[in-house]
């Protein structure tokens, strides 16, 4: 069995490696514009499935090959906050998230032989501290918000804005580990076959792989 990740995201690749299943990367480019009156739940699930199917079409769906697609979106007051178009758009999003809670929705889709699709969604509630305009301007200058949904990355410098969360930290990063692992287990993947043995030096406390 083979696994393909339909994403060029370094964060999703890093997280998928933690499940110790070997995979290849096939980036896809799809239209991420929400449809008219499309709810955030339907939007994020649709994009995850479309990404997986787009990569599947690129590779020609060889036998025993599964394709994993994922999408993450930030939602405030039922409004979808995608990737900012420019600095002003990023500042608008961050001011909207400042000092309050918002939702981060991450959907995962696994497409296999014969068009079989398994999918799931994880919703996480995130609370931001109050942001000063200086925070927002300095954060934009780092370049980090430019390609992030909601104009922030929790795993990077944007993590300093987060007071707490209720849900999955990894889902906010872009790939919920437990739920993704369950999809792969159902498809027949062995999640421990590629694990590296880790030993501890009892005298020094150093860990070596």
Which one is predicted more confidently, 116 or 19? 19
* pTM, rounded to two decimals: 0.89
Instruction: Give residue-wise pLDDT tens across range 38-74.
Output: 999 999 999 999 999 999 999 986 788 999 999 999 9
| Res 203 pLDDT > 70 | no
Q: Is 37 a catalytic residue?
A: no
Q: How far apart are CA 52 and CA 66, in angstroms?
A: 9
Packed helices 133-141 and 87-97: angle between N→C axes, nearest 10 degrees = 130
User: Residue 201's pLDDT is what?
Assistant: 54
User: Residue 61's pLDDT is what?
Assistant: 67
Q: Which structural domain, as residue segments, surrounds residue 65?
A: 2-208
* The total number of structural domains that make up the chain: 1
Q: Which of 31, 71, 86, 201 is catalytic?
A: 71
Average pLDDT, integer, range 183-191: 94
- Under 8 Å between Cβ of 136 and 95: yes
Q: How much is the mean pLDDT over the chain?
A: 92
Give percent of the chain above pLDDT 90: 86
- Burial zone of 124 (CB within 10 Å; 0-12 exposed, 13-18 middle, 19+ buried): buried
* CATH number of 99's domain: 3.90.950.10
């Amino acid at each position: 069995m083979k696994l393909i990740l339909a994403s060029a995201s370094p964060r999703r690749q890093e997280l998928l490696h933690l499940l110790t299943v070997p995979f290849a990367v096939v980036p896809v480019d799809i239209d991420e514009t929400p449809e008219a009156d499309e709810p955030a739940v339907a939007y994020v699930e649709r994009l995850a499935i479309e990404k997986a199917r787009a990569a599947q079409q690129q590779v020609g769906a060889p036998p025993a090959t599964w394709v994993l697609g994922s999408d993450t979106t930030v939602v405030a007051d039922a409004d979808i906050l995608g990737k900012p178009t420019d600095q002003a758009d990023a500042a608008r999003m961050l001011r909207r998230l400042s000092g309050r809670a918002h939702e981060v929705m991450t959907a995962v889709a696994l497409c296999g032989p014969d068009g079989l699709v398994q999918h799931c969604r994880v919703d996480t509630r995130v609370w931001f501290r109050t942001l000063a305009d200086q925070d927002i301007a300095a954060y934009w200058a780092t370049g980090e918000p430019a390609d992030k949904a909601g104009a922030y990355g929790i795993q990077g410098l944007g993590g300093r804005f987060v007071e707490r969360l209720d849900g999955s930290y990894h889902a906010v990063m872009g790939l919920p580990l437990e739920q993704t692992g369950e999809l792969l287990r159902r498809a027949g993947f062995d999640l421990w076959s590629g694990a590296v043995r880790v030993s501890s030096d009892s005298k020094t406390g150093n860990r070596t792989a």
